[in-house]
Chain A
């Protein structure tokens, strides 16, 4: 296992289009997170899955955003009707279920909305 994998690495889309990103976590990790990072800022939490259950969503996750983890393995993050303000790096992270363990991050998907 080579770590958390995210695809695509880069996405350029026109305003109003829908986009979907994929995250493949480390295989034995049952906890998965999505974060958003804008230029010059630290990552901000978007949502959290434990296995297939989405247990927490940030207020940042507007109704245009939806995330799934259908079989408790990979996850997708979809943004509908993209806006220029959605331009950011979207980071996925995973960790095992034991306490005091760190999360492992993917390389991110950089979204540019033009």
Chain B
């Protein structure tokens, strides 16, 4: 079946530190991969996506590369800010039928000034 595994949090970093949040997946077919972010009290917002192998998604300084050989989609940012504090969800959908998402459990990031 399809599944997503994320590193457990919380992750606590100082401002301007380098961020990596690991995400690996198991999927039948050829999934699209996504990172969503959830700020306190808000819904999920798309951060970035990649629809095929070797694609790199990027947005707001965050990047993730779709690695089919390692079934991974790790999220990185070179210099985090306090405003990046949120919960980050890795997700996949398989491009057939419903296109429903399978989410990881989420990783809480706390950035300290």
Contact = CB atoms under 8 A, between A and B. Distances in A.
Interface of A: 4, 31, 33, 35, 40-45, 48, 55-56, 91, 93, 95, 99-100, 102-108
Contacts of B101: 33, 35, 43, 45, 93, 103
Contacts of B51: 100
Contact of A42 (B98, B100, B103): B103
B91 A95 contact: no
Nearest to A46: B100
Contacts of B91: 42
Contact of B32 (A42, A56, A100): A100
A30 to B, nearest CB: 12
Interface residues of B, number: 25
Interface stretch (B40-48, B60-68, B71-79): B40-48
B106 A42 contact: yes
A105 B95 contact: no
Nearest to A48: B98
A64 to B, nearest CB: 21
B105 interface: yes
Nearest to A55: B98
B43 A42 contact: no
A91 B98 CA distance: 16
Contacts of A108: 43
Contacts of B18: none
Contact of B100 (A41, A48, A107): A48
